[in-house]
Structure 1
Amino acid sequence: MAFSDIYRHPFFSCIIVAWGAFCLPGAFGALNGMGAAGQVDATVSNAANAIVFGVLAVGAFVAGPLVNYLGVKTSFIIGTIGYSPYAASFYVNLHTGNNWFVIFGSVLLGLSAFMLWTASSAIFLGYPQEHHKGKAISMKFYFQHIGGSLGGIISLALNAKGNTRGHVSDATYYAFITIMCLALPAAFFVSPPEKVRRTDGTPVKIQPFASWKQEARSWWACLSDKRILILLPYLFYYQFDLSYMWGFNAAYHSVRARALMSFLFYLVGPAIGGALTGLFFDAKRWTRRQKARVAAIFLVVYSLGVWFFGVGVEYAYDKRPADDVIDWTQPVFGKSLVLFILYGLLENSNVLLIYYLIGSFTSDVNRLTSYAGLVNGIGSVGTVIAFVLGAVDVQLKGQLWANVACFLAAVPGLLYVAWNVTNPGEDEGAPSGTLTPQSVTYEEKETELRGVEVPPLTA
């Protein structure tokens, strides 16, 4: 097979996206997964992450039209630039106390992240065929979390003697900065949508950029979509938990224990469980609606159990003396380790399910881009609020109960959308390719907004 054929295959670009996820969000997650971005106190990292997700939240709401204007390849390249300065800023802050570089690095990362996530989502949701989307989603997040677990291994190896509360070694920051720099060269190999060739011969649906006015109207159609409105509480919640989880790790554990927990947080649940989830999502014996229902019910039941367990652990640890640091040599560490692994699976399951649901809304790359921007924007609003709670020193117990409240508020909307899912062109029990009234109606709405007259729907 010639390289040109490989280059045009949908999964070639998905692999590039997965590599970017490994080097960028993966390393970012590993650095923050240790708690406090590897530092002693979480105040600076909480403020920095509030800035990151604040910029991401604002940018993500305009990301859809912007990525459609620039193209997914150019946008993806731009999205790889801002991660390494963010990691470097914490190294500088650790040694000099310089805060302006942290602010600059956080703003730059936020600008890069909304481009990266939106372009990535358009690629792994829009390039593959319908029955391959589950594998594409799980592959992206599998590599992302393998990157997080590898970062945990590196941190663990470099901080294995750190049995007290403190900061990570300088070499840890060097390693993360290097990994983050490896994404940019690979980004130039992403195939533009018009050059992608699926094995069944179907094209990647994409409409050329017409005007900012039409893009804005198209974006508004996505925002006003009933499914998005119903999912708003869940979109707000699905990344809200990270601030508490990372703060929990930093507050109670030694440096090497934090590194070990960060490693297993991304390995056991996300990397292993995520791969199995991808296989389940692509299983042909069930309809997308049936799979969405099973996944949503599992997530709700699992989340209730994990948060109940987490509340018990948090209240027990809150009674410990402030200078009583939990190291991996202590029996109580087993409780921390199990809980953090469960947290890792919980966080990953939320992400996989939301993208699986969004992938059912349409197969058009332009609209997937807008949907992805909205998902990231709304999710980032929740993340900002969560990190602000940490930055203003709200007790971990308060942050935990905020997570529980957000989860409970999100359950009805999640179940409603999962219960009424359809494939683009597939209804429950209908063969692939059968148009449904729901999908045709939304296509009509979108086409009208782009200024094209739509013939009436006939039987």
Structure 2
Amino acid sequence: MFNALSGMGGGGQIDHRVGNNANTALYTTFAVFGILGGGIYNLLGPRLTLLAGCSTYVLYAGSFLSYNHTQGQAFVVTAGAILGIGAGLLWAGQGAIMTSYPPPHRKGSYISLFWAIFNLGGVVGGLIPFILNYHREKAASVCLIGLVCFCCPGMFNALSGMGGGGQIDHRVGNNANTALYTTFAVFGILGGGIYNLLGPRLTLLAGCSTYVLYAGSFLSYNHTQGQAFVVTAGAILGIGAGLLWAGQGAIMTSYPPPHRKGSYISLFWAIFNLGGVVGGLIPFILNYHREKAASVNDGTYIAFMGFMAAGTALTLAILPPARVVRDDGTRATNMTYSNVGTESWEILKLFFNWKMLLIVPAAWASNFFYTYQFNNVNGLIFTLRTKGLNNVFYWGAQMLGSFGIGYFLDFSFKSRRMRGLVGIGAVAVLGTAIWAGGLANQLRYTDGNWNRDPLDFKDSRGSFAGPFVLYFSYGLLDAMFQSLCYWVIGALADDSETLSRYSGFYKGVQSAGAAVAWQIDNHKTRLLSQLIVNWSLTTVSYPLLAVLVLLAVKDEDTVEDGESKMPKPSALPGSVDDGDAREKI
């Protein structure tokens, strides 16, 4: 994070002399205590040395916060000198650990591992000023909600992607996921109304806080083997996820300008799935040498909890729609907060809205296949460490898939309707090919038992490649399919209130399907049958989405400045239009 702060030039200040003077003081004391640091490390030991060193970084960042208000250099320069002392201690300890702890024949690998994790801090640190100082224009609000989802559902996806939440008994994860998606189905539908009542910050803060509890329940299970806490935490997470994804859907589909929604959706999806990539690295690294282990260690769950807590804190930086300026100069929506009666009526009407009915099969299918892919492909036929590696590529494939379909949906043809139809056709062709490959793989173990050694990326030679490519392709298809669904939803309206309800309805139906899918697996349904159902559901979705695009998506890509037409609180529920009157396409 210090590197990211310095990399902005002058510590992010317009007068670079402030940062220059602070850095001069810093590296002067660093030169002295870098030399003395090794001796201090030997006297105090690693914990006290590193604790003393790291504490000075907080003071240094705080000095620039103070300078923003006082314009006084003295505190910044003094903090720089103190940081030089702390950095000398920290890097002496770091060097001792990095060079002495690994075995002699593996020091190069361990040094490169440290350097990769260390520089990930610079990557994340670079995102912080980008997001927090770019949030009033262009794609920044979508980037910020993407980063929130990177930390919370992104890590949840990595946890689920190992099969059974990283436990040897998949029934624990299956039961927790059933409870999760049951409450998610309800609060996904209600979430749009709650978002309109509470606004984005409170809705997202409440939603994200439940992810930390869920990861903690698996940490508890590692010691108690008690399912009750895990299942309860899953049910609570379902409530929180309903709120989070309703808010996310509203932001992602209503904040961008109409002609760039595909690009912004793909941008969100890429940042979000980077969480799955990083989350996949966590169990891979922390369980790398546990080749015969069946359940992940405590450190894996603690790392997930840390990321989820950070994502919860980030929700406080989300802006309301009225303060977001799009890159075409318009504002997203002047959101007028609703009332319970209005939202209840509007949500009820969604079940009779022909547009929403056409999207039901796609919504049901869009998370239904996770159970099969996570538990019965990745969770069944690979070693523990390889499951983590596979997750890195599964969620990495989602980043590629979302960028590809997003660009296509925005720029391939002048007509928006034509872009939607051709996009549906492209996803349908690719999806058919990938599910056909899945069928070929499934025929190798139709009874649900992998009657050979689990595949390992180092030891299984050529037999690893085919299932690995298939799992990668499943991730590619998932992102393209869901990005397509969100693009269609975003093309149906342009105001935040309506799209929060549409997105909530989509997530509610999606979660109902997932709840059913986890119990189907729990009841030992034949894997071949599960694959056929998944393939059939996605195939049925394509023509219905095409009909929706033909009938409901208009070609005009310009809208007026977003002005909410939410009725005043005194309006009777029956007088509210279903959202079509608010379309300005």
What is the TM-score normalised by the length of structure 1?
Answer: 0.89
User: Against the structure 1 CA distance between its residues 47 and 188, is the aligned structure 2 distance closer, same or farther, given a 3 Å change threshold?
Assistant: same
Counterpart CA distance in 2 for 1:240 and 1:431 is 33
Structure 1 residues 374 and 98: CA distance shift in structure 2, 3 A? same
Give the match for residue 437 of structure 1: none
C-alpha contact (below 8 Å) 1:24/1:83 kept by paired residues: yes
Summarize the alignment of residues 8-27 of structure 1 with structure 2, pairs less than 5 Å apart: 8-9=136-137, 11-27=139-155
Cα distance change, pair 451–294 in 1 and its aligned pair in 2 (3 A): closer
Matched, 1:368 2:499: yes
One-letter amino acid matched to 1:449? S
- Counterpart of 1:107? 235
Pairs within 5 Å for 1:121-200: 121-164=249-292, 166-200=294-328
- Amino acid aligned to 2:224: T
Instruction: Measure the CA separation in 1 of the matches of 2:512 and 2:246.
Output: 16
User: Which amino acid counterpart does residue 576 of structure 2 have in structure 1?
Assistant: R
The one of 145, 156, 161 equivalent to 1:33 is 161
Cα distance in 2 for partners of 1:144, 1:447 equals 36
Structure 1, 297-306 or 156-165: larger mean CA deviation: 156-165
Does structure 2 conserve the Cα–Cα contact (< 8 Å) formed by 1:357 and 1:421?
A: no
Q: What residue is the counterpart of 2:223 in the other structure?
A: 95
Instruction: State the Cα distance separating 1:374 from its structure 2 match.
Output: 0.2
Q: CA deviation at 1:402?
A: 2.0
Partner Cα separation in structure 1 for residue 327 and residue 521 of structure 2: 48
Aligned to 1:438: none
* 1:21-77 superposed Cα distances (whole Å, 9 cap, x missing partner): 100111011111111211112111111111111110011121121111111221111
Residue aligning to 2:392: 263
Pick aligned residue for 2:478 from 327, 347, 359: 347
Q: Which residue of 2 aligns with 1:393?
A: 524
Please point out which of 355, 360, 377 is paired with 2:508: 377
Report sequence identity in percent. Answer: 26
Answer whether contact 2:321 2:335 (CA < 8 A) is retained. Answer: no
Q: Which residue of 2 aligns with 1:359?
A: 490
Amino acid at match of 2:382: H
Distance in structure 2 (CA, Å) of the matches to 1:247 and 1:169: 19
1:49 aligns with 2:177: yes
Amino acid of the residue matched to residue 370 of structure 1?
A: R
Q: How does 1:198-213 map to 2 (within 5 A)?
A: 198-213=326-341
User: Aligned partners of 1:311 and 1:431: how far apart in 2?
Assistant: 41
Q: CA deviation at 1:285?
A: 4.7
Between structures 1 and 2, the one with greater helix share: 2
Is residue 344 of structure 2 the alignment partner of residue 216 of structure 1? yes
- 1:432 aligned residue: 558
Letter in 2 for 1:158: L
CA distance in 2: counterparts of 1:210 and 1:168, whole angstroms: 45
CA RMSD of aligned residues (A): 2.7
User: CA 1:114/1:321 → structure 2, altered by over 3 Å: closer, same or farther?
Assistant: closer
* Partners of 1:296 and 1:418 within 8 A in 2: no
In structure 1, what residue type is equivalent to 2:540?
Answer: A
In structure 2, which of residues 514, 525, 533 is the aligned counterpart of residue 402 of structure 1? 533
- Asked if structure 2 preserves the Cα contact closer than 8 Å seen for 1:21 and 1:141, the reply is no
Cα contact 2:372–2:527 (8 A) shared by 1: yes
**Segment of structure 1 superposing worse, 8-17 or 29-38:** 8-17
Distance in structure 1 (CA, Å) of the matches to 2:464 and 2:387: 11
Work out whether residues 252 and 317 of structure 1, in 8 Å CA contact, stay in contact via their aligned partners in 2: no
Is 1:289 the counterpart of 2:417? The answer is yes
Identify which range, 390-399 or 358-367, moves more after superposition: 390-399
Q: Say whether the 8 Å CA contact 1:8–1:195 is kept in structure 2.
A: yes
* 1:398 CA drift (Å): 2.5
Tell me what 2:453 maps to: 324
C-alpha deviation, 1:206, in angstroms = 4.3
Taking structure 1 as reference, are residues 150 and 332 closer, same or farther at Cα in structure 2, changes over 3 Å only?
same
Match of 1:250 in 2: 379
Give the aligned partner of residue 117 of structure 2.
none
The amino acid that maps onto 1:179 is: F
In 2 relative to 1, CA 68–335 (structure 1 residues): closer, same or farther, beyond 3 Å? same
Aligned to 1:411: 542
CA drift at 1:150: 1.0
Deviation at 1:209, TM superposition (A): 3.3
* 2:318 aligned counterpart, secondary structure: coil
Any idea what SS the aligned residue of 1:239 has? helix
CA offsets per residue over residues 94-142 of structure 1, 9 Å max, x none? Answer: 2210222102211221111011000111112111211232222112111
Aligned amino acid, residue 526 of structure 2: Q
Identify the match of residue 70 of structure 1 among 198, 206, 227.
Answer: 198
Query: Could you say which structure has the larger radius of gyration?
Result: 2
Q: 1:199 to 1:253 in 2, by over 3 A?
A: closer
Q: TM-score, normalised by structure 2?
A: 0.70
Whether the aligned pair in 2 keeps the contact of 1:22 and 1:146 (CA below 8 Å) is: yes
Residue 154 of structure 2 aligns with an amino acid whose one-letter code is: G
8 Å contact kept, 1:289–1:421: no
